[in-house]
Amino acid sequence: MGLLIDGQWHDQWYDTGKTGGAFQRSTAKFRNWITADGAPGPSGEGGFRAEPGRYHLYVSLACPWAHRTLIFRKLKGLEEMIGTSVVHPDMLSDGWSFADDYPGATGDRLHGLPFARDIYLRADPQVSGRVTVPILWDATRQTIVSNESSEIIRMFNAAFDHLTGNTADFWPEDLRAAIEPVNDRIYDTLNNGVYKAGFATTQDAYDAAVRPLFDTMGWLEDRLTTRRYLMGDRITEADWRLFTTLVRFDAVYHGHFKCNRARLVDYPNLWAYTRELYQRPGVAETVNLDHITRHYHYSHETINPHRIVPIGPDPDFLAPHGRETLQAA
């Protein structure tokens, strides 16, 4: 695990020394947008027109942020247009690697490079920052379009619709204002909250993360009593952003990240809701509990120095969810 500084790799863990033991996620560097006609998006430069075969998505099957983009690629019918490469689940001193000696790890199908950092260096030989997945690569301009999952899913939601004919809309105009605060709370206390709890190096930092985390779990449990999905009867990006954290919760966050006040399966509504999302067509194929369990326990040496990968729970994501009755709520 490490980062690039002026194009040089430095093998170092997150520095929580300056922040009172608290984990602070750094901001993604590449913030361009693919759009239908190549016009600039909300950030970055223009010139990234939606075209079949032009873009490639580098993911880890363990990573909840990359997982969002895989779900959108699937739900928006983009599999033929956007290829993928899957990194090895072990993220060690060289960061994410393209070793393919693990089931499900594909190697770098586009360039045959050894490490994810090499993709960043190909985009910018002097780049500084953490080498994170997902990475959306543009084979035409030979650069990274974006390494920010929340933006990649919005591109996938709309930019290719004229090519695919798939107009499913997970960020509908009329719900955007209501989605934003829900996303914000879930991001801060849950998607990122599990990391803040897990990577905390002081009791105070851990306490400050884990309490709001379980407040949010309770808030969601209540919200899903009357609503089938977070925003009512339509599935939106808010649901998919939440799903990738929930589906990992009992396998890795509960034990490895010490988020153990309760398990997901202890919340009847949240657990049924997770099962429903899991059972939507195409979604189960994006979930790889083996990569998830292996990656976290094997890669985070400061948390689990002996790299023992636990046997883990085996939640029955295919059990009937019974959420249909909430349709009209």
Ligand X SMILES: N[C@@H](CCC(=O)N[C@@H](CS)C(=O)NCC(=O)O)C(=O)O
Query: Contact between 149 and ligand X (CB under 6 A)?
Result: yes
Query: Contact between 148 and ligand X (CB under 6 A)?
Result: yes
Query: Contact between 133 and ligand X (CB under 6 A)?
Result: yes
Contact between 81 and 49 (Cβ < 8 Å): no
Shortest distance in whole angstroms from residue 10 CB to ligand X: 11
Place of tokens 């899991």: 278
Q: In the set 29, 88, 130, 228, which binds ligand X (CB under 6 A)?
A: 130
How many Cβ atoms sit within 10 Å of the Cβ of residue 156? 30
Contact between 151 and 31 (Cβ < 8 Å): yes
Query: Contact between 120 and ligand X (CB under 6 A)?
Result: no
Alpha-carbon 139 to chain mean position: 23
Query: Contact between 1 and ligand X (CB under 6 A)?
Result: yes
Q: Among the candidate windows 46-54, 126-134, 223-231, 312-320, which touches ligand X by CB under 6 A?
A: 126-134
Q: Which of 239, 234, 248, 232 is nearest to 277 (CA)?
A: 239
Q: Extract the tokens encoding 122.
A: 């190909």
Query: Contact between 193 and ligand X (CB under 6 A)?
Result: no
* Residues recognised as catalytic: 63, 195
Number of residues located near ligand X, criterion CB under 6 A: 14
* C-beta closer to ligand X: residue 195 or 317: 195
Q: Rg of the chain over CA atoms, in angstroms? A: 19
Query: Contact between 134 and ligand X (CB under 6 A)?
Result: yes
Query: Contact between 105 and ligand X (CB under 6 A)?
Result: no
Q: Among the candidate windows 33-41, 142-150, 196-204, 229-237, which touches ligand X by CB under 6 A?
A: 142-150
* C-beta closer to ligand X: residue 148 or 239: 148
**Calpha distance 198→132 (Å, rounded):** 18
Quick note: the x/- pattern for ligand X over 40-79, rule CB under 6 A, is: --------------------x--x-x--------------
**Calpha distance 250→236 (Å, rounded):** 24
Shortest distance in whole angstroms from residue 194 CB to ligand X: 11
Helical ranges in the chain per DSSP H? 64-75, 116-123, 149-158, 161-164, 176-186, 193-199, 203-226, 237-248, 268-279, 289-299
Shortest distance in whole angstroms from residue 181 CB to ligand X: 19
First to last CA, the chain: 46
Contact between 262 and 217 (Cβ < 8 Å): yes
Query: Contact between 32 and ligand X (CB under 6 A)?
Result: no
Q: In the set 22, 28, 231, 264, which binds ligand X (CB under 6 A)?
A: 28
Residue numbers at the binding site for ligand X (CB under 6 A): 1, 28, 60, 63, 65, 130-134, 147-150
